[in-house]
């Protein structure tokens, strides 16, 4: 796109959890549009391999950094390396996330910590580390990947839903604190997005039919469906937007469908 309003060319963009799934799709989207992208992953070699593949496929610039956001000691070194090599971070995209699906009565302390340490505490620590740099510069955009759970939780997902609820209020809190100092903080809440991690589950006919029935656009999403919203939130097109969660869910959060036709027919 030639319109500078939506341009991310030459921005330095850090994407956590960028080796696969939603994170990789967003990294590819920024790279394709001229941004310099750094992706993080728990495995440094895997992150570097993914970055090389993204750069080659999109004919752009992408580098991989080792960083497990659940490990506080790994966050600042990754941020420092990116700053040392490229001087600034214009955009942070917090994507790294995990899940545990089981009934509430079976959840353990380890289950709760596993999810919260990545989805909330890790996201906050990375936001804070990058935010300190952005505050010094007086500008920047942070984008956090929420969930349909920010609208309403599904059962058997208590730790995940709780982590995304916390993330939603983190977005609002940081937007209030950092907005006067030039930093915008927003979120993207995906609907039912099929990735390599959940593809086997979404291939079940029962789940496919349920998803189509409750999504007005009558399909599950793909990671690439989120790229447009991320580019918008990183660009000047959203210069007056902060503290918001944008639902990119095919209309899932608009309401519930029910079999009124069959009941009344």
Active site residues: 160
| CB-side neighbour CA atoms (13 Å) of 118 | 22
The three-point CA angle 97-199-94 to 5° equals 20
Distance, in Å, from the CA atom of 222 to the CA atom of 225, rounded to the nearest integer, reads 5
- Count how many Cα atoms sit within 13 Å of the Cα of residue 67 in the half-sphere of its side chain: 32
Q: Is 99 helix (H, G, I), strand (E, B) or coil?
A: coil
Name the residue among 248, 251, 254 with its Cα closest to residue 29.
248
HSE, CB side, 13 Å, CA atoms: give it for residue 106: 7
């Amino acid at each position: 796109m030639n319109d500078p309003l939506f341009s991310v060319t030459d921005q330095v963009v850090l994407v956590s959890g960028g080796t696969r799934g939603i994170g990789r799709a967003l990294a590819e989207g920024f790279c394709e549009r001229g941004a310099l992208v750094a992706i993080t992953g728990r495995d440094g070699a895997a992150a570097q391999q993914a970055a090389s593949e993204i750069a080659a496929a999109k004919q752009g610039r992408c580098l991989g950094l080792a960083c497990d956001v659940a490990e506080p000691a790994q966050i600042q070194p990754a941020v420092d390396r990116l700053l040392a090599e490229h001087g600034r971070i214009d955009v942070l995209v917090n994507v790294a996330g995990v899940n545990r699906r089981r009934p509430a009565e079976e959840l353990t302390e380890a289950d709760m910590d596993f999810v919260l340490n990545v989805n909330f505490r890790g996201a906050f620590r990375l936001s804070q580390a990058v935010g300190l740099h952005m505050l010094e510069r007086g500008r920047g955009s942070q984008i956090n990947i929420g969930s349909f759970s920010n609208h309403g939780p599904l059962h058997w997902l208590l730790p995940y839903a709780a982590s995304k609820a916390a993330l939603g209020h983190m977005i609002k809190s940081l937007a209030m604190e950092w907005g006067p100092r030039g930093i915008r903080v927003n979120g993207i809440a995906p609907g039912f997005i099929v990735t390599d991690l959940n593809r086997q589950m979404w291939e079940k006919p029962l789940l496919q039919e349920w998803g189509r029935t409750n999504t007005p656009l009558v399909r599950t999403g793909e990671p690439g469906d989120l790229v447009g919203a991320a580019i918008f939130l990183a660009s000047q097109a959203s210069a007056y937007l902060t503290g918001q969660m944008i639902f990119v869910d095919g209309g899932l959060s608009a309401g519930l469908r029910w079999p009124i036709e069959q009941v009344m027919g």
